């Protein structure tokens, strides 16, 4: 049996402006999660570690960070475990970039550079009876089919693994540099496709080929998600690859929508936020709907009162004040007529989505008529 560890999108050194003052602490979380993935490689008897792009958040990370990474990877290579890095979109190959520095090679790591036919690197591992086909990101705007043009090898091995950094093509197009589809996975004749680029874990296996994005070990955006993983991949003759997530991240990101039209009062909003508290939770709470007269709901104050219960708390106010009936229902004013029409819609709404749509239209319309910016 051959055992791999598949990691991607670590984004070491990310600026993380969405976390405010916690950005620095989260950059340390990201480093710890990466170190934990390497601990798992050693503890689980992995033969080969594959890093599927965006190990670094940018092309020219700080020297200290690169030295730290080289030291971490050397812990693994020193035990005879092979480590291979695929440049991704954030850390793509370019002159003067991090993969031109010597640190990683000195730590015994190979960085794939797309030097073979069609921009592929083909590396056989005779001792493992395995071949890796790697397609590093070398330029932007290519709109390449990530799995296309794979060169043949003179020697066939029992196990065949693809290493790519590409967006999953779900038929809607997109402006990705590299794309991959399930049909291409099914036709690949690979056992496993180790992919990077999507930051949430996702399987896109097809035909006899298993294909995965592990997602980033720690969140690097505000999209709701569970703590991150690395993937242990077991290759055994005559069976499909076994894929086991290994927890390495700590932080979860949650979203909460507080609809004022179904809340009893501002206290309930605070209580609902507090219910999500956890020192490893990032919560993005959004207040929506119509704010009744006399309701004192200040997002900044809510953040201040409740923030200590979270790793990070953001409360966003997208509610609108309810317009007092006499002025608002004055049909001679555009705002008044708009209010009356939307109120009728609200009352007539038969389903929750219809009601929400009408409330949102009322909020946006009033804001626009008031000359305010909307989003
Ligand atoms: Mn990424």
In tens digits, the chain (375 residues) has pLDDT values of 999 999 999 999 999 999 999 999 999 999 999 999 999 999 999 999 999 999 999 999 999 999 999 999 999 999 999 999 999 999 999 888 999 999 999 999 999 999 999 889 999 999 999 999 999 988 776 678 899 988 887 789 999 999 999 999 887 766 778 999 999 999 999 999 999 999 999 999 999 999 999 999 999 999 999 999 999 999 999 999 999 999 999 999 999 999 888 888 888 999 999 999 999 999 999 998 888 877 878 889 999 999 999 999 999 988 877 765 555 456 667 877 888 888 888 888 888 888 888 888 887 887 788 777 666
Q: How many CA atoms lie within 13 A of 215 on its CB side?
A: 24
* Ligand 1 centroid from CA 164, angstroms: 12
* Ligand 1 centroid from CA 245, angstroms: 19
* Ligand 1 centroid from CA 154, angstroms: 33
* Ligand 1 centroid from CA 54, angstroms: 5
Q: From its phi and psi, is residue 173 left (phi > 0), alpha (psi between -120 and 50) or beta?
A: left
Residues, Cβ < 5 Å to ion ligand 1: 9, 54
* Ligand 1 centroid from CA 86, angstroms: 12
8 Å CB contact between 91 and 53: yes
**Sheet with 159-165, edge to edge strand ranges:** 121-125, 130-135, 159-165, 192-196, 210-213, 202-203
- Global pTM? 0.85
What are 90's two structure tokens? 């954030």
Residue spans per domain, the chain: 2-247, 252-369
Q: Strands 242-247, 229-235: parallel, antiparallel or unpaired by DSSP?
A: antiparallel
CATH fold label, 2-247: Purple Acid Phosphatase; chain A, domain 2 (3.60.21)
8 Å CB contact between 271 and 300: no
* Ligand 1 centroid from CA 309, angstroms: 29
List the alpha helices (DSSP H) in the chain. 23-43, 63-77, 103-106, 182-186, 266-275, 299-306, 325-328, 334-348, 352-369
What are 5's two structure tokens? 């560890």
8 Å CB contact between 13 and 61: yes
* Ligand 1 centroid from CA 335, angstroms: 45
* Ligand 1 centroid from CA 9, angstroms: 4
* The residue count for the chain: 375
């Amino acid at each position: 049996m051959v055992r791999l560890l598949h990691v991607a999108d670590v984004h070491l050194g990310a600026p993380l402006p969405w976390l405010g003052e916690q950005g620095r602490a989260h950059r340390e979380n990201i480093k710890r999660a990466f170190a934990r993935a390497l601990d798992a490689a050693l503890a689980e008897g992995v033969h080969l570690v594959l890093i599927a792009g965006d190990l670094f958040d940018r092309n020219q990370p700080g020297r200290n960070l690169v030295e730290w990474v080289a030291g971490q990877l050397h812990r693994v290579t020193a035990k005879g475990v092979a480590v291979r890095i695929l440049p991704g979109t954030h850390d793509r190959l370019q002159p003067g970039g991090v993969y031109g520095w010597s640190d990683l090679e000195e730590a015994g790591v190979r960085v794939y550079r797309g030097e073979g036919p069609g921009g592929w690197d083909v590396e056989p591992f005779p001792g493992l009876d395995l071949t890796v086909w790697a397609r590093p990101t070398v330029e932007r705007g290519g709109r390449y089919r990530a799995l296309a043009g794979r060169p043949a090898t003179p020697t066939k091995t029992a196990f065949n693994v693809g290493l790519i950094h590409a967006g999953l093509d779900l038929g809607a197009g997109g402006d990705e540099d590299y794309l991959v589809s399930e049909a291409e996975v099914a036709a690949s004749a690979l056992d496993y496709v180790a992919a990077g680029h999507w930051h949430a874990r996702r399987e896109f296996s097809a035909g006899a080929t298993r294909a995965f994005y592990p997602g980033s070990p720690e969140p690097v955006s505000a999209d709701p998600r569970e703590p991150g993983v690395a993937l242990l991949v077991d290759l055994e003759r005559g069976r499909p690859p076994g894929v086991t997530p290994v927890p390495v991240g700590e932080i979860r990101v949650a979203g909460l929508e507080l609809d004022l039209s179904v809340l009893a009062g501002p206290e309930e909003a605070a209580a609902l936020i507090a219910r999500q508290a956890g020192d490893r939770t990032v919560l993005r709470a959004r207040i929506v709907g119509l704010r009744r007269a006399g309701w004192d709901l200040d997002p900044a104050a809510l953040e201040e009162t409740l923030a200590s219960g979270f790793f990070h708390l953001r409360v966003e106010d997208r509610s609108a004040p309810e317009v007092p009936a006499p002025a608002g229902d004055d049909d001679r004013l555009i705002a008044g007529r708009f209010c009356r029409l939307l109120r009728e819609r609200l009352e007539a709404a038969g389903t929750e989505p219809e009601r929400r749509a009408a409330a949102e239209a009322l909020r946006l319309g009033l804001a626009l008529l008031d000359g305010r910016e909307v989003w």
